[in-house]
Amino acid sequence: MTRLSLIGLCIASFACSQAVASGGGGADGPVNVALVQFGYCDSDSRWISGKLHDELKRGFTASPEYALVDEGDLADAFSDLGFASSDFQYGVPPDIASQAAAAAGADLILFGFIAPVGAGSYSISWNIGVVSSGSTVSPPQIEATKDAAVVSAAAGRMVTSAGEEVGARARSALQMADYHISVENWSMAIASLRQALQVDPRLTEARLRLASIYMRSEVDSADRARAIYEEVLASEPDNSEALAGMGNVLLSAGDPETARDYFDRAIEADPDNAQAYVGLASSYNALGMINQALASFEAALVQNPQNLQARYALGLLYIEVGREADAIPHLEQVLQVHPDFTNLRLKLVSAYSDVGRHADAADNALIVLESDPDNTQLALYTAQLEARAGRSSSAIQRLEGIISRSGDRQAYLLLATVYRDTGQYGSMQQVFSRLRSAYPNDPVANFMVGAFYYQAGTRGAQVPDLVTGNIPVWESAISDLQTAVSYLSQVTGYRSGQAQEMISAANNAIALCEEKIDRVRRYSQ
């Protein structure tokens, strides 16, 4: 029996978490924070600056999440950079702040400026320098007066939200990366993940996602992926995802024997790592041993049909070799005994979808969604499966819920697709109007809607038969393509180049449709 058949079936519960700013000690210690007295411009703002500094010291000292950097060490670091104490009145440049904080052993540094805004009020502009990346996060300004209680409250909010502000910036970049990944825009996904890592280079989640993108055939940067996996494993030697990733790197490099060892280690670290199982099956396949592996698991089940370890592995192996119909019974039986094996249920959902059992796929996706109701991507996937299963009302209701809860752009687009596929074109147009209202002049919204019409129009334009009955198809395609051009013409920013390419292609398709219509009409006379 192979190594895979001997592992225990101790599948961990599915969990999805995101890291926020982590300090030098990471999970083993507090975040080291350096404080710089904020700049000021008059006697009152100077008083506020001094009081704020004292309150921030008190707040960070009281928090177990943070440790204050010694003020003397920080002063020496600024002095070494040629920054005198009297210069603090005018604020500290971000690059100087990060350099001094790094020299003093800080993970984060807080600095800013206090300026009058009228009627005895002052604005506190504050910045959080992330030393490891040299990036700066600038949260919203806080308004204060020359009042001890007011300044103390402001300091309390800053202490409470410091980590949240850094984490929110990173999460925003990760969410944008999720969108780009969902539409397979790998270059923009890479850019978004790099942005998240600029805020916090220790975001293991972002590093692993970046490495997985590098491993895709469309990107083909296995060396970069390997470097990331090696860095993760240097600090987290039992990180199952990184171990499986290294296995995949070695598979791509033509070393299935060593890859198999990494997949074994990944499974030992996390018996619920389906990627490791699939990778192990691929290793066996590359070694010419896949049939032996399948035969071994099948023989084990003949001897003991209750052997869930073999049944679990066999189901995944069948999926690996494209035999989803054979995999489904095995996955179903494992889930009957262990309904909480969420990762395995998601595999079953995918298998059902692949063989066209969309209703079963939707039912099982709903089970997973019940355990993770705030997972927007899973809710979108469930709605898509419901639509495929003919449950358009349920899909529409779910998508409307996502929109009301989060305003997710993808939910708008999928909702429009459901309406289109069910022939409700008026409702589809209303969804697009709502999208533009929710994201006025938003390049992403304009790009999404433009791409939707472009794809619809392109399909119609590709109808080749020169017969009178196809004229309405081409006319509809022209209308869709013209609408696409109107939206894509408003796209700015990093998508503008791709939008211009689609505009050019749309205009060519419009000309082609017009030529087809003209030829058919002339020949029919």
Q: What does the pLDDT look like over 364-383, one tens digit per residue?
A: 999 999 988 989 999 999 99
CATH of the domain at 156: 3.40.50.10610
Helix, strand or coil, per DSSP, at residue 433: helix
Residue 17 pLDDT > 50: no
Q: What is the mean pLDDT of residues 9-33?
A: 41
Residue 212 pLDDT > 90: no
100 domain-assigned: yes
Nearest to 316 by CA among 299, 293, 338, 337: 293
Residue 409 pLDDT > 90: no
Tell me how far apart the 2 most distant CA atoms of the chain are, in Å: 93
Q: Residue 278 has what pLDDT?
A: 66
Enumerate residues 6+ apart whose C-beta is below 8 A from 99: 77, 81
The residue whose two tokens read 């171990």 is 243
363 domain-assigned: no
| DSSP code string of 473-512 | HHHHHHHHHHHHHHHHTT--GGGHHHHHHHHHHHHHHHHH
Angle between helices 425-438 and 443-461 (to 10 degrees): 150
Helix, strand or coil, per DSSP, at residue 116: strand
Residue 476 pLDDT > 90: yes
Q: How confident is the model at residue 237 (pLDDT cuts 50, 70, 90)?
A: very high
Q: What token pair was written down for 278? A: 């699939």
- Please state, for a pLDDT cut of 70, what percent of the chain lies above it: 88
Which is higher by pLDDT, 5 or 481? 481
Q: How confident is the model at residue 267 (pLDDT cuts 50, 70, 90)?
A: confident
- Pairing type for strands 31-35 and 121-130 reads unpaired
| DSSP code string of 246-303 | HHHHHHHTT-HHHHHHHHHHHHHH-TT-HHHHHHHHHHHHHTT-HHHHHHHHHHHHHH
Enumerate residues 6+ apart whose C-beta is below 8 A from 231: 207
Which is higher by pLDDT, 372 or 133? 372
Give the tens place of pLDDT for each residue, 239-253: 999 999 999 999 999
Q: Do residues 280 and 304 make contact, with C-beta atoms less than 8 angstroms apart? A: no
Nearest to 65 by CA among 197, 166, 149, 152: 166
154 domain-assigned: yes
43 domain-assigned: yes
Nearest to 55 by CA among 151, 125, 126, 127: 151
Q: Residue 25 has what pLDDT?
A: 39
Residue 255 pLDDT > 90: yes
Q: Which of 159-168, 257-266, 268-277, 394-403 has the highest mean pLDDT?
A: 394-403
Q: What is the mean pLDDT of residues 274-298?
A: 76
Q: Residue 274 has what pLDDT?
A: 60
Q: Do residues 435 and 420 make contact, with C-beta atoms less than 8 angstroms apart? A: no
Q: Residue 140 has what pLDDT?
A: 86
Helix, strand or coil, per DSSP, at residue 66: strand
Lowest mean pLDDT among 95-104, 278-287, 349-358: 278-287
56 domain-assigned: yes
Q: Residue 287 has what pLDDT?
A: 87
- What whole-number distance in Å separates Cα of residue 212 and Cα of residue 229? 10
Q: Residue 200 has what pLDDT?
A: 67
Give the tens place of pLDDT for each residue, 439-475: 887 887 888 788 888 988 999 999 999 999 999 999 9
Q: Residue 88 has what pLDDT?
A: 72
60 domain-assigned: yes
106 domain-assigned: yes
Neighbours of 130 (CB within 10 A): 23
Q: Residue 499 has what pLDDT?
A: 92
Q: Do residues 108 and 162 make contact, with C-beta atoms less than 8 angstroms apart? A: yes
Residue 378: HSE in the Cβ half-sphere, 13 Å Cα cutoff? 19
Q: How confident is the model at residue 2 (pLDDT cuts 50, 70, 90)?
A: very low
Helix, strand or coil, per DSSP, at residue 473: helix
Q: Residue 163 has what pLDDT?
A: 66
Q: Residue 262 has what pLDDT?
A: 93
Cα–Cα distances in angstroms (integers) from residue 16 to residues 205, 276, 402, in the given order: 10, 18, 19
Residue 418: HSE in the Cβ half-sphere, 13 Å Cα cutoff? 28
Residue 356 pLDDT > 80: yes
Enumerate residues 6+ apart whose C-beta is below 8 A from 257: 283, 287
Residue 20 pLDDT > 50: no
Domains: count for the chain: 1
- The residue segments making up the domain with residue 124 are 26-162
Q: Do residues 419 and 431 make contact, with C-beta atoms less than 8 angstroms apart? A: yes
Q: What token pair was written down for 449? A: 């809607």
Q: Which of 31-35, 47-51, 199-203 has the highest mean pLDDT?
A: 47-51
- Please state, for a pLDDT cut of 90, what percent of the chain lies above it: 41
Q: Do residues 113 and 38 make contact, with C-beta atoms less than 8 angstroms apart? A: yes
Residue-averaged pLDDT of the chain: 84
Q: Residue 121 has what pLDDT?
A: 93
219 domain-assigned: no
Neighbours of 186 (CB within 10 A): 16
Q: How confident is the model at residue 202 (pLDDT cuts 50, 70, 90)?
A: low
- What whole-number distance in Å separates Cα of residue 507 and Cα of residue 339? 53
Single-letter residue type at 210 = L
Nearest to 101 by CA among 77, 121, 84: 77
